Structure 1
């Protein structure tokens, strides 16, 4: 029990992983991990593919390596990504699966290390290498980190980004909705050096909070945590009323001023040119006359990011209509003409079918077929909790197995009835937003912050550096149990992406020198 408590209270991923490994040793789960066989996946196929990759590299045969990788560009190859393989042991899944995932990355590095000569003795040329990497990258598809909502828990998204970044699992395509749009924008306008300072809390000036009601209004934490109260009972009552009326704890007009101060007048296209990260912001608006409801550097290149963020955070009680702004050809800030065709709504009043969802354009525009969802909407977290990757789940629930089954059955029944009401158009839009997840056009992994009911009492506390670290850590802890599953799904994608970017830079440099 002491180790289980230490696992829950871990402050770094390495500490969590070391504790998880110790638990596997105590409960005898290392034997399960070492045995490759399981009815949940085709272990013979994975074993054969692993041997083929190793033999191809040992024999210096890049054509065999390419063929083996090319025929396995499926994230859930022979069911290696099914949840049942990640719920038994604490520290990971079958070692055969982990070795296969690692060997795929080693194979790509082997191809990249063949040198810059025009041809290999096998006939594998430099151009063939580039064509293979580009084709494999296209065939496997891309992941996007989808930061969904959050309102009072939006700061937890930073913890999710922090863990993915330092584990080299952060996708280049980042999508934000409502509060998540703030965090997505902050991530995509920062270079890696700036991002590291931001994720470590060193680039956040919390002293600005004391001045926000006077002249500065540029503090990050109130935006994400929606906290601007002074005092206790009076502050809480005022903010609860605002939360009911506007879905935010920070006034919408003040929110707009803070967004402008923090994000500046940078456009989607400028942000992409600076960081090479692809920012997508969704807005709650039906498509009319070709006007996009998924904003990025392709659909809205000259739009100011801060105005797109505010469009994604439309409040029911906003005193003035939300307008979107862009940069003209001369660099002047002008009203975006297409925004007149956007009927912007609050997400709590917007209902759309899967055909109208802004997310459905991600596969078309950026070849996205896999979603890493950071879900911070407080009301939906309890409905998702039992479906997440829960390492050591069988050990944890041994005593309360019947209770856990009954609780899960009740949740499934509630969600089923809510979906029935929604299909009959009898479920109000705000209840749909609160209790039902959005239709996702692809496979996904859902990450939930590690919060409890007691944590909800902390959202009204005055922001501090300690408070910021607290919520970031909550977000990080929500990622650690799923990290092993994420690496199996995405490690090849990340390696192919890095290889493609490296080869593209080489070609650009060759053109410049030529």
Structure 2
């Protein structure tokens, strides 16, 4: 048969093979005469019926039974152990019955601790001072009330004593004295050697939460002085002329690696997530909002709002009137009940996509992770998991998904089974159009596996101090600090006792560990069936805390309105609660942030020094800005050629047709706040034509 015949032949009809055709000996004999080609119109011809191109022709395949299909559809092989089938459901029933009894006793025990603390600790003047502390309207009022409460309870005496069992006070005092002495002697290299040793995460346990849980404000005076001296020493090294740029570069890079950075992690929690607004506002007002922010589900929405806006825009946004723009749950009960009946999900992903992609959500309407980073300098992270339960968790940011649209990531992070179906992430192309990302794979809520992606944050951005704002309704009930927490000491025995008493605190810890043990047993024995196509066995077994954990006090009414939008009055209350629980942690955050900021400024100084060293020395043909009206230091020079890359010169060139080679720049004048640059057009020989000069002006700080 010719090649043309092969190309044009109808292969929908194939001759039925005979027993001789299937004879292996005949197939292996090369001398056997070729079989005649049977006409495709023969009556013996019938259509091919095969599972795939690799299946034998006319092979009869048994239809898969419905039971086996259901098992394989869930991704589980059928079990042959009859004891598992026999005892699975009774065992699961008794474990859940035991968990319910333990949980009821746990709730009763927590209420008993609260009542005992109110009776024995917060009566009389102490109670009045604590009410004043909780009634503070801003951080300054709160600090004043906290100092008064520390003085009344004599907690301030503990600050003045250097000795304590929870940190190496001798080493801290020695390092503090050494840094101060070396800085006063102007011995920069010895000072740098000491800092290379002590710039570590939790060096000598100075960042231990126990050292901040003995008072309402601050910690020991020695630790406060240690952080201040470390800050001065880093500034001393940065500004010292005795060190080369390469030495400073190596030092600050190593310091950044050894110490790590801080990140803000906002948990999920449906409408409980609006408490995050108060946490963010407290950190923003104190200038302590980290550059790395991650969020899951409801926390992802707040994280995206923070990372797509600059500080000034964010301050204008975080007001009670923001509730008027929150319309995720505005549908009536009749609409979403019909949707649940038809689709199995309460919310419509298309409707949410339209709301999330509006310009009112982010500054441009359809911003990507990379665009948000370039605009604000903050790194947004959204945690999602693929719909396939075997695939690992994904942390979306400007490194892993730079062109992914933020609004699509937020929908995926909120896709809880029964609430929102899994969605496809969208990617923005260069022409502005959007296409599916990752070959159209679907993703859902990351909090089902990893609510706080601490390990991924450490891998990508060297995060060693995660600040976790935890509002998940099934988690924050179990947060209990028996010895107090940062800024919230135990009220009796001068902060040295246990909440309630030792017996109640021990019972609380025992019950909590018993609950965790039972959930691990259910997970390891695979007793829990998959509900709505999702494995729920790890929901209670994740890590939900961090370096600092903030958990707002919720109300029973929050459970009733867990899928409702807040009004301005309710949002104001939730923001205030978030601020009140964040203020006690600010001193602990601020002490670490001092060191991180100095390291960051040191690295910025090195980068600018390297750039200025690579550029030609400043002359009168150098302008003092990368582009006009750029805020820059008055003593910082940039080559005038850098201005040619700016949008201002591009517009000037389009209007005049003048290219950089035809311009001569002269720095006219420069003060502390303004500069003026005049340029003239020149001909090929360098002579200036009589046309009038044009000029640009800018300002510098």
Q: Does 1:368 align with 2:471?
A: no
Q: CA deviation at 1:299?
A: 1.1
SS at match of 2:423: coil
CA distances 1:29-78 after superposition (whole Å, capped 9, x unpaired): 11111101011111000001111121122112222222222111222112
Equivalent positions of 1:208-357 (< 5 A) are: 209=324, 219=325, 221-223=326-328, 227-228=329-330, 252-261=349-358, 262-263=361-362, 264-285=365-386, 293-317=394-418, 322-336=423-437, 338-340=438-440, 342-347=441-446, 350-351=448-449
SS at match of 1:421: helix
Residues 505/314 of structure 1: CA separation in 2 closer, same or farther (3 Å cut): farther
CA distances 1:268-312 after superposition (whole Å, capped 9, x unpaired): 111111111111111022799999711111111111111111111
Residues 110/179 of structure 1: CA separation in 2 closer, same or farther (3 Å cut): same
Determine which of 483, 491, 497 is the counterpart of 2:586.
483
Match of 2:631 in 1: none
Q: CA deviation at 1:474?
A: 1.4
Match of 2:273 in 1: 154
Distance 1:317 1:458 in 2: 17
Residues 445/462 of structure 1: CA separation in 2 closer, same or farther (3 Å cut): closer
Residues 12/319 of structure 1: CA separation in 2 closer, same or farther (3 Å cut): closer
Distance 1:253 1:432 in 2: 30
Q: Does 1:78 align with 2:204?
A: yes
Match of 1:435 in 2: 540
SS at match of 2:480: helix
Distance 1:282 1:258 in 2: 20
Residues 286/273 of structure 1: CA separation in 2 closer, same or farther (3 Å cut): same
Determine which of 228, 233, 236 is the counterpart of 1:107.
233
Distance 1:508 1:457 in 2: 58
Count of equivalent residues: 474
> How high is the TM-score relative to the length of structure 1?
0.81
Match of 1:213 in 2: none
CA distances 1:100-142 after superposition (whole Å, capped 9, x unpaired): 122222222233344xxxx42xxx1244223322221122112
Q: CA deviation at 1:190?
A: 0.9
SS at match of 1:393: coil
Match of 2:316 in 1: 197
SS at match of 2:590: helix
Contact 2:387 2:422 in 1 (8 A): no
Match of 1:407 in 2: 508
Residues 47/319 of structure 1: CA separation in 2 closer, same or farther (3 Å cut): closer
Residues 290/251 of structure 1: CA separation in 2 closer, same or farther (3 Å cut): closer
Residues 416/288 of structure 1: CA separation in 2 closer, same or farther (3 Å cut): closer
Distance 1:57 1:280 in 2: 40
Contact 1:88 1:393 in 2 (8 A): yes
Contact 1:324 1:339 in 2 (8 A): no
Q: CA deviation at 1:481?
A: 2.3
Residues 422/492 of structure 1: CA separation in 2 closer, same or farther (3 Å cut): farther
Distance 1:509 1:468 in 2: 49
Indicate the structure whose relative CO is greater, using CA pairs within 8 Å and at least 6 residues apart: 1
SS at match of 1:284: strand
Contact 2:269 2:471 in 1 (8 A): yes
Match of 1:32 in 2: 158
Residues 490/286 of structure 1: CA separation in 2 closer, same or farther (3 Å cut): farther
Match of 1:494 in 2: 597
Distance 1:23 1:319 in 2: 48
SS at match of 2:198: coil
Contact 1:347 1:433 in 2 (8 A): no
Residues 412/358 of structure 1: CA separation in 2 closer, same or farther (3 Å cut): closer
CA distances 1:136-160 after superposition (whole Å, capped 9, x unpaired): 1122112221111021111111211
Match of 1:129 in 2: 248
Return 100-109 or 268-277, whichever deviates more.
100-109
Match of 2:552 in 1: 449
Determine which of 157, 163, 166 is the counterpart of 2:285.
166
CA distances 1:135-193 after superposition (whole Å, capped 9, x unpaired): 21122112221111021111111211222223232221111111111111111111222
Q: Does 1:386 align with 2:481?
A: yes
Residues 358/100 of structure 1: CA separation in 2 closer, same or farther (3 Å cut): closer
SS at match of 1:386: coil
Distance 1:258 1:29 in 2: 51
Residues 335/125 of structure 1: CA separation in 2 closer, same or farther (3 Å cut): same
Determine which of 466, 469, 484 is the counterpart of 2:572.
469
Return 150-159 or 495-504, whichever deviates more.
495-504
Q: CA deviation at 1:427?
A: 5.4
> How high is the TM-score relative to the length of structure 2?
0.61
Distance 1:14 1:430 in 2: 47
Q: CA deviation at 1:465?
A: 2.8
Q: CA deviation at 1:466?
A: 2.9
Distance 2:444 2:407 in 1: 17
Distance 1:287 1:135 in 2: 40
Distance 1:317 1:454 in 2: 22
Name the larger-Rg structure: 2
Match of 2:294 in 1: 175
Q: CA deviation at 1:448?
A: 0.8
Contact 1:294 1:359 in 2 (8 A): no
SS at match of 1:478: helix
Contact 1:76 1:489 in 2 (8 A): no
Contact 1:171 1:494 in 2 (8 A): no
